[in-house]
Homo-oligomer: A and B are copies of this chain.
Amino acid sequence: MTEIKIKTYNSESLIHCGVGAFSTFVHALKDRQLFIVTDKNVYNIYGNLISETFGGASVKIIPAGEKSKTVRRLTEILQAMADAGMKRGCTLIAFGGGVVGDIAGLAASLYMRGVGLVQIPTTLLSQVDSSVGGKTAVDFNDVKNLLGTFYQPEQVIVDPMFLNTLPAREIRCGLGEIIKYGALDEDIYNKLLKNSDNLYNFEFLEEITSDCIRCKAAVVLKDERDLNGIRKTLNLGHTTGHAFELYYGGKSHGEFVLIGTYYEMFIAKTLNIAGGRYYENLISLIGKVIKKIPAYDDIEQAALSAKFDKKNEEDAKISLIVPKKEGECQELVIGVEEYIKLLAECRDTVRAGI
């Protein structure tokens, strides 16, 4: 089992990572006043485990999926907390994937200006990425994560046992973010290359998960509030990925991150930022997860969704984080027109099967 710590000025976030983490660390929570947020899918599978582990604690079950990340659902959670008589010393447990973690984290940060928060991520994506680092959010006005707070969970309990019940698509989704970390960190990159035929192996996933969390923790420590540009690097692949996710939908977030990374790497290559073996290796890793990169019709229109992405401040510019070489990426700010042109070129290349 690994322990990773994110210590900031007014919080300390402890991440327990590995087989047995759940059974080892939930017991210490039992004496607290607990409130559990989960979703229907997770509750169907783990309802019994939740009852056995947390006894009479109040449980709020939200519908599964990104569509639950709304102000309405958030208000429902807060109402349920008030109805259950939660006090300032209570602890909210976010038991589920990224959506549950994001919205429950926001509820915990708002209720009485902040109560205890423990993340128990049950998907690979949330284990490897979204449960760590304190970003909470709901979607608003058709913009992903437009509303939220920075609020560190006091504990994150990352137990690979939850991966056993995940559909393959959810594993692919998590691998999307894992490969993103490969583009940010040389050690993760090398480990991914060495295990490229082994990506779906659970022991490998357990190991690489703690590597990714360690990488993220180091970034968060340097830029908790996303102010100095360092945390922004975690958005690699996300500008285009989010735009496609908004416009086309139908795939998981992690898959869109990979497709976004693919398109953005094409841009990086065309502009002579990345190339050679490093480029080929990353593309080949993406290919292990996304068998067929989509050649989107209407890509010019989809690209415009990126303009409204909140990471972009200037109307006429798009900011991309692109891989450069092993363990190094850079921010690329280009005009919207050039961005659209390059995306279309990439699409045409994919379509031609080059």
CB pair A224 B10 closer than 8 Å: yes
Contacts of A71 in B (CB 8 A): 71, 75, 78
Number of copies: 2
The chain B residue with its CB closest to the CB of A225 is B10
Near B by CB (< 8 A), chain A positions 63-106 give 71, 75, 78-79, 82-83, 87-89
A143 to B87, Cβ gap below 8 A?
no
* A114 within 8 Å of B (CB atoms): yes
Whether B148 contacts A110 by the Cβ 8 Å rule is yes
**Smallest Cβ-Cβ distance to A135: which chain B residue:** B113
B87 touches A150 (CB 8 A): no
Complex formed: what's the CA distance from A87 to B310 in Å? 7
Chain B residues near A88: list those with CB within 8 A.
310, 313
Report how far A310 CA is from B145 CA in the complex, Å: 29
**Is the CB of A200 closer than 8 A to any CB of chain B?**
no
Verify if A146 is at the interface (C-beta below 8 Å from B): yes
Q: Does A150 lie within 8 Å of B114, measured CB to CB?
A: yes
Which residues of chain B are within 8 angstroms of A143 by Cβ–Cβ distance?
82
Q: Give the Cβ gap from A123 to chain B, nearest Cβ, in Å.
A: 22
Knowing A87-B313, A310-B88 touch, does A109 contact B75 (C-beta < 8 A)?
no
Report whether A146 and B109 are in contact in the complex, using a CB–CB cutoff of 8 Å.
no
Contacts of A135 on B, CB cut-off 8 Å? 113
Residue-by-residue, is A213-254 near B (CB-CB < 8 Å gives 1, otherwise 0)? 000000000001110000000000000000000000000000
**CB neighbours of A140 from chain B (8 A):** 78-79, 82
* Given known contacts A71-B75, A88-B310, A313-B88, A113 and B82 CB-to-CB distance under 8 angstroms: no
Q: How far is the CB of A190 from chain B (nearest CB, A)?
A: 33
The distance in angstroms between the C-alpha atoms of A271 and B137, with both chains bound, is 48
Give min CB distance, A307 to chain B, whole Å: 11
Q: Do B82 and A149 have beta carbons less than 8 Å apart? A: no
Cβ-defined contact, A113 with B75, below 8 A: no
Does A111 touch B at the CB level, under 8 Å? yes
Interface residue ranges of A1-34 to B (CB < 8 Å): 8-10
Bound: A88/B150 CA distance, A: 14
- Contact indicator B10/A109 (Cβ below 8 Å): no
Closest beta carbon of chain B to A238's beta carbon, Å? 15
User: Do B113 and A137 have beta carbons less than 8 Å apart?
Assistant: yes
Using known A-B contacts A87-B313, A140-B78, determine if residue A225 contacts B150 with beta carbons closer than 8 Å.
no
Task: Tell me the residues in window 137-187 of chain A with beta carbons closer than 8 Å to chain B beta carbons.
Answer: 137, 140-141, 143, 145-150
The smallest beta-carbon distance between A277 and chain B, in angstroms, is 37
Q: Quick one: closest B residue to A106, CB to CB?
A: B110
User: Chain B nearest CB: distance from A149 CB in Å?
Assistant: 6
Tell me if A112 is interfacial: C-beta within 8 Å of chain B.
Answer: yes
Closest Cβ of chain B to A94, distance in Å, is 17
Q: How far is the CA of A324 from the CA of B347 in the complex (A)?
A: 75
Chain A residues with a Cβ under 8 A of chain B: 8-10, 71, 75, 78-79, 82-83, 87-89, 109-114, 135, 137, 140-141, 143, 145-150, 224-226, 310, 313
